Amino acid sequence: MATGGLTDAELLRRLRAIYDEAQVQEVATELAAARQKVRQGEAAESMVAAIHARFTYRMHDLSEFMKGFMQRYTQWHNRTHQRSGRLWEDRLKSVIVEDGVACKTIAAYIDLNPVRAGMVKDPAQYRWSSYGEAIGGGPRGNGKKARAGLVRALRAHKGVAADAEFWVHDVAREYRKILLAGAVEKHESRVARSGATEVRRTRKGMSAEQTRQENELLEKKLEEIPYGRMLRCRVRYFTDGAVIGSRAFVNEAFASARERFSPARKDGARTMRGSGKAAKGLLWSVRDLRVGV
């Protein structure tokens, strides 16, 4: 019998991935006893459901899943390397992001992490990112999951499914433009003019005019946000903003969780400051950050 979409056998199979056999057998015995009481009319089905719920709530909650994963990985790593203490620098953070401009902004911000850290010059060179796998193909040489995820990030608001087939159309080109807007991939050419030396800086492989036209097209398409300058900075709103999106989207999220905020607060949308000020007027945050933004 299935409870909450999982049979007892499937629940036990999943538990074996994180618990030792002795613990799994304890749960199996408890489930068998509960099932017996239900058959005999001594207990309701809710008794079995309660046993399932002790474990399945983590399977449907990303925060709980990551919390358990980080704890268990830390324990394994410390035992393996004979160490103690924390392994992760910070706790898991999650942000609710609206489809459309907000979603593509966050996707690009994440894929530019290795560039921001100085590890690579081109985000495609970092194999452990979604863009790196989409371009490089991943360990199996296809990268379909990464491409499908990026298609969803850039096209979900238009009703496009998370299908890797759409990547080869205009999605890959648009995303590449976002990532390279304001890129540092440049070279210098020196030309003598009237005895003086003129330094021209252009993006590699493009003339200055092509670079200018491409950037103008991109910024117009993305509603005038200077993506390159903003995304290559650390923008705390993208990790600590709680909710990111249009003003209406943030206010709707605020209204649905009104009890979490002070009674004096009238609405949820807050203008981005600091490194995120380039998105002012288009993206809002539910948290009014003032330090390290």
Hey, what amino acid is at 198?
E
- pTM for the model stands at 0.68
pLDDT at 100 over 50: yes
Query: Which of 22-36, 37-51, 62-76, 117-131 comes out lowest in average pLDDT?
Result: 62-76
Residue 287, SS3 per DSSP = coil
pLDDT at 205 over 80: no
* Structure confidence at residue 282 as a pLDDT band (50, 70, 90): confident
- Minimal CA–CA distance to 211: which of 226, 220, 221, 201? 201
Q: Which string of DSSP letters, residue by residue, matches 211-230?
A: HHHHHHHHHHHTTT--HHHH
Residue 204: what pLDDT? 45
Most confident of 28-32, 67-71, 217-221, 264-268: 28-32
103 contacts 154 by C-beta, under 8 angstroms = yes
pLDDT at 281 over 80: yes
Q: Give the pLDDT mean for 16-21.
A: 87
Give me the residue spans of the domains in the chain: 2-60, 96-227, 237-285
